[in-house]
Structure 1
Amino acid sequence: MFNNSSKILFIFILMMSTMITISSNSWMGAWMGLEINLLSFIPLMSDNNLMSNEASLKYFLTQALASSILLFSTILFMYQNNFMMQINETNYVNMMILSTLLMKSGTAPFHFWFPNVMEGLNWMNSLILMTWQKIGPLMLISYLLIKFMLFWCILLSVIIGSLGGLNQTSLRKLMTFSSINHLGWMLMSMYSNEALWITYFMFYTFMSFNLIFLFNMFKMFHINQLFSLFMFNKTFKFSLFLNFLSLGGLPPFLGFIPKWLTIQYLTFNNQLFMLTIMIIMTLLTLFFYLRLCYTAFMLNYYENNWNFNILWNNFMINLYLIFSFFSTFGLFIISIMYYLI
């Protein structure tokens, strides 16, 4: 529908609108940044495809609903607090603002739109929705840390994100529920330390990009398509499924580092009940990742003895293997750098 130059322009506006949101000193300015962000992402979602058009319509209606409630709450907030960002846990206006921000980020129990929208997008738009589109709402949520409401959303996010992925065959929905689970961890890290959630978000973005880079390259959208990759080189096969385990936070992979830091802060703050539930639910996410990896890790699995040397000379494959190396051995590399410094 749009040429490449138009898409580049929309991506530039998308990035600038997020900068407006996170640098704003009033809720009205933040609302304007979120609106520009929404209007710049809708053209990127729309293709000459029925599913993508349906997904863009669902995304627009949901975000428009959240934006209207946010604007109404912002007007009330301005009259009450004299245009300043202040926190009051007993104020229902603050709770309304926090609810709309949680809906925009796709956090449970406001996640009803997230899996359906993701199912209709291509992988590049899915990556933007899972990563960049969460920066603005999460930054605004960090200004309104209402304890009791945030804790319930964290519990529901880690539970729904874990249980929702158990019966999925679509890779996009699998990544969606994984994103909801990681959102719970990010919100918990945000409550523990203001800078920790940014570190968690950066690690999560890298791991998601690493997997979606491969899915987009081979146009894979369902679990059964993964097994066709078993005919490739064993190094490529193991790197693919180790990235799944890294995304699940299994040590000693790179994805364990942000969870490790969050567990450490929760232990110091005596949040043991929340920590126990989050770790148990994360074990469930590792279960459906291991369900994918189990067959690939079996030594006696049948493989076709075909030659794919032409494919292995591809620059994109080599680039993916470099990213996969850092995702797999990142914990060792960071540990060595820490001791050397």
Structure 2
Amino acid sequence: MIVVNKVPMTDTEKPQVRFIKVDSEDAGQRIDNFLMKTLKGVPKSMLYRLLRKGEIRVNKKRTKPEYKLQNEDLIRVAPIRVSENTNVVSTQLNVVANLEQQILFEDDRLIVINKPSGMAVHGGSGLSFGLIEALRALRPDARMLELVHRLDRDTSGCLVVAKKRSALRHLHEQLRNKTVQKYYHALVKGRWSSKLTRVTDALKKNDLKSGERVVVVDNINGKAAETRYKVIQHYKNASLVRAFPVTGRTHQIRVHCQTKGHAIACDAKYGHEDFDQEMKSLGLKRLFLHAASIEFTHPLSEQRIKVEAPLEPSLEKLLKKLTKATAH
């Protein structure tokens, strides 16, 4: 895709005609969906009106919103003023700059980033700014940046972002086929038994009147879920465990830990009050759940790659304060 005149306009500039040439990466998409991603800041209703009036044409011809783009199609977009909201990004420049240091792997197909705790993966639900918006500000020339999967806002660690549609499709197929391996590290309450290697309680999402979403164990009406566990280190009153989610249900690891009596440290939804207070007294200020590594097949080379994300210093510091317990 080649975009002409993509530079944001000042108030005094006149809008220019845009020409967008479609390549094989973008072929096959409906034109309305393609334009929503390409012409950021243009309302959907306006795009439909422009298509209907012939202000947006493909190969000099009028087209309908459901038209599927072909390789080398030339899209002409009449002069329109795009109201891009740059204020949100400008107030978060320190966050954007910090993200550059968190990139673990990058090539022309994808980015793997060590997502900070407390940062939503995208804007919405009262948030106008998330990690994907920050990455787009960091890589303004990138054709596309789309989340391959998600992490809870309070969870840190490996997050994969696709830079091409073909990479996004390839990785989504791997997720469906369960060939992506994601390992998490969690600090949990109490002594986790080395014999507890699998939790298979079914999970069901409940929406409370407040609008808050909570997940509960429901082995009758819930969806099948499986998490595999391995103890990394026992501490006095706590355990550091490795969790491998075989399925990908909402809050799966957190609820599976809670239901076995081993709530994750500082989990605002599913935590244990006394344990959380103890961990907070030692300096913990966030959920201790970290996506430590991810392994998948690279969309282009077809080679398996594994990317690891180090724990942030505050979590390392906490572990050093804990008293190690001997195995028994």
Short-chain TM bin:
under 0.3
Q: TM-score, normalised by structure 1?
A: 0.26
Q: TM-score, normalised by structure 2?
A: 0.27
Could you say which structure has the larger radius of gyration?
2
Report which of the two has the higher share of strand.
2
